[in-house]
Amino acid sequence: MNLGLDGKVVLITGASGGIGAAAAKAFSEEGAKVVIHYGRNEKAAADLRKKMFAESIIVSADMSSEESVNALFAQAVEKLGRVDIVVSNAGIFPSADLPIDEMPASRFDEVIATNLRGTWLTAREFFRHLRQTKPSAASLVFVSSTAAVFGEAGHSEYAASKAAIIGLMKSLKNEMTRIVPKGRVNAVAPGWTWTPMTEEFKSDDAAVKKSLQTRALRRIGRPEEVARQILLLTSDEVSGYVTGQCVEVSGGMEGRVLWEKDEIDPSQA
């Protein structure tokens, strides 16, 4: 199936690894030009660019900074002419579990600044760009999390940031069409996915088994699986009548145990 993404200009935040990198490669395979945003890992972004099938650029930006996000879009437009699609993926997940009564406000502030403020700034600058260019269609996809649906004990700040993104998406899908008649805003909510951010949990069989007990498919997701859903949502050919939706990509995750411990094999995760 032709997704109609050939020649589109796609800006992906947090694209140097994990879901963002998988999405960048997937868009490139469809012929899209990709703006690969990175925060600190320039080498990973540069290495990814070498694997692209179509034109691409790498751009660094601090997603919590208004000036930096504005400059990110300015560089994208300067080098590639416009931005048709944005995948707002940049985010952080502190590894230490901390209940709210032990969590310093500085950690809350850091996560909210990147995950929510950065997402809001990205959307705002994209909308400003669209108001100037006045295309007939455009697409914005947010990367949320199942933590927005089920919560995340020990990571209340992360869950709050990802839940807020869903509210933002629901609001902006109505604002989008006042600027772009066929513009669409959606989100994906990945469950636990094997990315650099979750790498340290791979060796923890107990944690893996506990997670798999809540998933119908009894395995952990891959970045490429999330990336494919992102592509489908951005495609006007496939999802032209889909907006304001959050697609869970979680292997059928529920907020309850579906499998007994002896029915789980961590090696198959």
Q: Which residues carry out catalysis?
A: 158
- Structure tokens belonging to residue 50: 């070498």
Provide CB contacts within 8 A for 129, sequence distance 6+. 73, 77, 82, 83
Q: What are phi and psi of 60, to 5 degrees?
A: -95, 145
Q: Name the strand (E) or helix (H) holding 223.
A: helix 223-234
Q: HSE (CB half, 13 Å, CA atoms) of 187?
A: 27
What CA–CA distance (Å, rounded) separates 35 from 136?
A: 21
Give all strands (DSSP E) within the chain, no chain letters.
9-12, 33-38, 56-60, 85-88, 139-143, 184-190, 246-249
Helix (H, G, I), strand (E, B) or coil at 72: helix
Q: What are phi and psi of 31, to 5 degrees?
A: 95, 10
**C-alpha dihedral sign at 107, 168, 239, 87:** negative
